[in-house]
Amino acid sequence: MMEGAAPVALAATSPILNPEKEGQELAAKLRDSTPAENSEITGVLEITTHAGQVRTVPIVSRITVTPTNWQVSYQTTDTNLVPAETLTIIHSPGQASTYRLIAGSNVAAPSPTRPFADSDFWPLDLGLEFFHWPKQRALRAEMSRGQPCRVLESSNSNPGPGGYARVVSWIDNESGGVIQAEAYDSTNKLLKKFALGKFKKVEGQWQLQDMRIRNVQTEQQTELKFNLRAK
């Protein structure tokens, strides 16, 4: 949770007056939200298999803000099991995001459902691509994890093999960010659950310390842990 005014108390749930209009407005704000400055942070991807085996992949995340767009890159380090990869996502207001994957000597636009660094994160997860889908609908207002939220459903009429047919996101009213989400496959079966973890105060600002995504069908989980420290 970011610092700011105290959140306004809401009922446990409340209806949305214009679901399609509010849904489009929420998705647009999430698509076009630009970071304030460049940054670089290190961390690890901690991947836990259904059998309980854990492997870690070092990662560096960089944000670069330009006058016309902003870019975020995720660069992993070569390990015994997973080769180094760099995924770059370019966000431009009012336009579709652009994805580029460097794996070895190959540079290409990755499949949106290709596991990044053999983790449970896909490019479309890291790029929040579902907020670009044409159909966005605000379902309700409710409390989640102690925060007043709007619940947004993003639907995809053509998910493709193994893709998401819809994603339900809980949007924090105070910070405007996603605090948790659920992704469903083409048969409307729950596929993944995403959640932000702990926050840490660094130089007077609250920063995200970790986030995790769990594939409930394979029973594998990946946690992205950041090393937060003062500049």
pLDDT per residue as tens digits for the range 73-96: 999 999 888 899 999 999 998 899
Higher local confidence (pLDDT), 105 or 58: 58
CA angle 152, 18, 154 (to 5 degrees): 25
Using a 10 angstrom Cβ sphere, with 0-12 exposed, 13-18 middle and 19 or more buried, the burial of residue 34 is exposed
Q: Pick from 218, 151, 162: which is nearest to 185 by CA?
A: 162
Residue 130 is given by DSSP the state: G
pLDDT confidence band for 174 (50 / 70 / 90)? confident
Give CA–CA dist 39/207, Å, rounded: 12
Calculate mean pLDDT across residues 14-26.
89
Residue 9 is given by DSSP the state: P
Classified as helix, coil or strand, 178 is: strand
Q: Pick from 69, 62, 123: which is nearest to 94 by CA?
A: 69
pLDDT per residue as tens digits for the range 39-50: 899 999 999 999
Give CA–CA dist 210/194, Å, rounded: 11
Question: DSSP E strands: which ranges in 1-105?
Answer: 13-14, 39-48, 54-65, 70-76, 85-91, 98-103
Q: How confident is the model at residue 16, as a pLDDT? A: 80
Give CA–CA dist 108/121, Å, rounded: 18
pLDDT confidence band for 14 (50 / 70 / 90)? low
* Cβ(14)–Cβ(141) below 8 Å: yes
Give CA–CA dist 182/177, Å, rounded: 15
Q: How confident is the model at residue 12, as a pLDDT? A: 52
- Provide the β-strand partners of residue 167: 154, 183
Mean pLDDT over all residues of the chain?
88
Calculate mean pLDDT across residues 62-68.
94
* CB burial string 112-150: b at 16+ within 10 A, e below: beebbbbbbbbbbbbbbbbbbbeebbbbebbeeeebbbb
Helix spans in the chain (H): 19-32, 123-126
CATH number, domain 13-226, options 2.70.180.20, 2.50.20.10, 3.90.320.10, 1.10.10.10? 2.50.20.10
pLDDT confidence band for 11 (50 / 70 / 90)? very low
Q: Cβ contacts of residue 102 below 8 Å, gap of 6+?
A: 85, 86, 88
pLDDT per residue as tens digits for the range 177-215: 899 999 999 999 999 999 987 665 555 555 677 899 999
Give CA–CA dist 85/101, Å, rounded: 7
Neighbours of 4 (CB within 10 A): 9
Q: Cβ contacts of residue 33 below 8 Å, gap of 6+?
A: 176
Q: How confident is the model at residue 36, as a pLDDT? A: 84
